[in-house]
Amino acid sequence: MHNFLSRWAQSAFSIVLLISVCLVSCEEPELGLETQPGGDSANLLRELNLQIEATTEREDSVKTDELSLNLLGAYNDPVLGKIRSAIVMQLRPAVSNINLGTNPQADSIVLVLPFRGFYGDVSKVNGLQKFRAFRIREMMYRDSTYFSSDTLQRDLTPLGTSNYFTPSLIDSVLVGGTKEAPQLRIKLDQALAAEFLSNPSELVNADVFTAFFNGIYIDADTKLPNDEQGAILDFNLIGGARIDLFYQNDENDSLRTSFIVNESSARYTRFNHVYKPEVLSSLGSIESGKENLYIHNMGGLRTKLRIPDLNLWKAGRNIIVHKAVMTFTVNTQTLGKYTPNPQLNIVLKDEDGSLILSPDLSVNSTSYSGGVFNNTTKDYSFNIARLVQAQLNGIITDENFYIQPSGTGISSFRTILNGTESLNGAVKFEVLYQILPN
């Protein structure tokens, strides 16, 4: 997740919240039933009838530069629509002052992308994809910020297109007599190899080379006419992404030099989603939110929530919240091949519209804050006691908060939740609280 509060800001927020609770209570200033003395729970009141208002909204473009994983591929989600992801990356000479020898002649040139995992279908029937590599015609900079919607000028003709790729996490690849981890290999145009070899002065160091060869854009060259076809693949660029140039000269006939992606390389992931009309029509709709709620990684979708009657429920009373748990069940009819996100988080928006952690997440423990997918009960439970207390005390004045997918820039999960009034399992909201004298 991106654009969250700094640790200092989170700590400051939590301190303000705890001070506020101290002002209205002599209890220990920790929110949550587990902090209370053993006999106190019997004296708590229970509220089960507070209504939840929920809608789906599109996520803004997310920052995707220099992440631990990059996503590449395409699939047709039977619920959401067409999901696409591309990679943009800068390469650097593996060594400085490359010596090509006398009369170098190109044998081949190959783009290598180490493969880590997938989301969707990678079978030979429904999952085969081809991938294209294009030359970028704009400089990339490591200290620049790149978002998932950013585009860079590139050639219209690809440098190369892969064969149909069948991803496997166990099949190694033999390269120059050495076994390497599973990888996507795209043979590039021989003219690029010749261009490299005929311009040795452009290969002397990273600064010179990146001005000469700005980088590579890779996307999926896949039609995918049917639902449930295709997949998004995970690649670890720092773990071996490169261009291998195989060549010979007057002294040797089996040489290789490489141009690699390392920590100094600019790189980012670009997302493009074409959602189905029924998903688009549900955006911002409270009525649609009563039936289904959509959450999608890759800068896709999130759920917006509010408790409309919270202040009316307070009714001037001095309320101390010990526990406030929202439980959302997954619409199991929509699962198919698509595993729900293992972790969802409750977040807020600051005055600039940037996402920040909810005060419950400042505890830094999922055993307290929740949001972990329960594979047995097929649901997510969130403890929002601190958030509710802060709203009751007027510390948080924005009524809205959000369910945001974890790892939105580096994973492809989508989660369809049953809505607030779904017959398949409506949202549950339980509050345990005390009323103290004003």
Provide the residue type at 366 as one letter.
T
Cβ(220)–Cβ(129) below 8 Å: yes
Q: Show Cβ contacts of residue 233 under 8 Å, excluding neighbours closer than 6 positions.
A: 71, 72, 73, 115, 117, 118, 122, 167, 184
Q: How far apart are CA 73 and CA 432, in angstroms?
A: 46
Give the pLDDT of residue 41.
Answer: 58
Give the pLDDT of residue 270.
Answer: 98
Asked if the model's pLDDT at residue 15 lies above 90, the reply is: no
Cβ(134)–Cβ(154) below 8 Å: yes
Closest residue by Cα to residue 341 from 276, 275, 416: 416
Asked if the model's pLDDT at residue 32 lies above 60, the reply is: no
**Span 148-160, pLDDT tens digits:** 999 999 999 999 9
User: Any idea which of 173-182, 272-281, 356-365 has the lowest mean pLDDT?
Assistant: 173-182
Mean pLDDT of 217-240: 92
* Pair of tokens at residue 128: 């085969």
- Which residue would you say has higher pLDDT here, 438 or 176? 438
Cβ(52)–Cβ(307) below 8 Å: yes
Mean pLDDT of 12-21: 40
Closest residue by Cα to residue 200 from 290, 346, 98: 98
Q: What percent of the chain has pLDDT over 90?
A: 76
- Radius of gyration in angstroms for the set of CA atoms belonging to the chain, rounded to a whole number: 26
Q: What angle do CA 291, 370, 42 make, to 5 degrees?
A: 100
Mean pLDDT of 384-396: 96
Q: Report residue 12's pLDDT band, with 50, 70 and 90 as the boundaries.
A: very low
Give the pLDDT of residue 29.
Answer: 35
Asked if the model's pLDDT at residue 69 lies above 90, the reply is: yes
3-state secondary structure of 41: helix
DSSP state of 372: B
